[in-house]
Amino acid sequence: MIDAYINIEKTHKEFDQHLKDVGINKLVLKSVQSPKQIKLVVTSLSKYGNTKKNLSDLESSNKPFPTLIIVDDDQFVQTIDLVQNPQIELVSSSSKLDEISARVHALVGEGESEILEFKDLTINLKTYEAKAGDILLDLTFMEYELLKFFVENQESVWSREDLLEKVWGYDYFGGARTVDVHVRRLRAKLGDLRNDWIKTVHSVGYKFN
């Protein structure tokens, strides 16, 4: 589900069902504690100014919320400046579900795909950062790459040779022991509550789950 702040005209109320159908969950603004909770803003063009005012305490100028604006056919002439903003998508009030879905995906689809999650672990593929809960993990590049590979390939058992090929990308000079060293370091950095996510499969290799 995509958590969104929605502020639309009564004449656009049919959009409520369309938004639900594309996986949007309506947030109550009073319950929002952090800007990170708002993944998308949906508003009517006539309410755009009011919407920006409502979000003024949460939205920063250097990181505006991705916004989907519902526009009536006779209003498109008013949107010339808005269409130049990459954080804004316009959709006609007469649009069908597939177009609404495409507009929503254009705004949040890429951003969502930049994050990998496993329980309370989050990996940001854009910034090369990993967090366990609220703690930023101090990982080397190869520790990060190994952890990312494990999260992307959960449940499968990987031999040390497989991991060298898949993660390091070649027959690494350090041999299979390199994998053991990196796994040991990863477990230590994940901490006591999470180090059993990387399981040793006797005589085979490792599994992450």
pLDDT tens sequence across 83-106:
778 889 999 998 888 889 888 888
What band does 79 get if pLDDT is binned at 50, 70 and 90?
A: confident
Query: What average pLDDT does the segment 144-157 reach?
Result: 91
**Encoding tokens for residue 150?**
């494990």
22-70 confidence digits (pLDDT tens): 889 899 998 888 888 899 999 999 999 999 999 998 988 777 899 999 9
Distances from the Cα of 88 to the Cα of 19, 106, 107, 113, angstroms: 16, 9, 7, 19
Please report the domains of the chain, with CATH numbers, ordered by start residue: 2-113 (3.40.50.2300), 116-208 (1.10.10.10)
The pLDDT mean for the chain works out to 87
Per-residue pLDDT, 170: 57
pLDDT (0 to 100) of residue 174: 63
Q: What is the reported pLDDT for 126?
A: 72
82 Cβ neighbours under 8 A, 6+ residues apart: 69, 88, 90
Confidence of residue 172 (pLDDT cuts 50, 70, 90): low
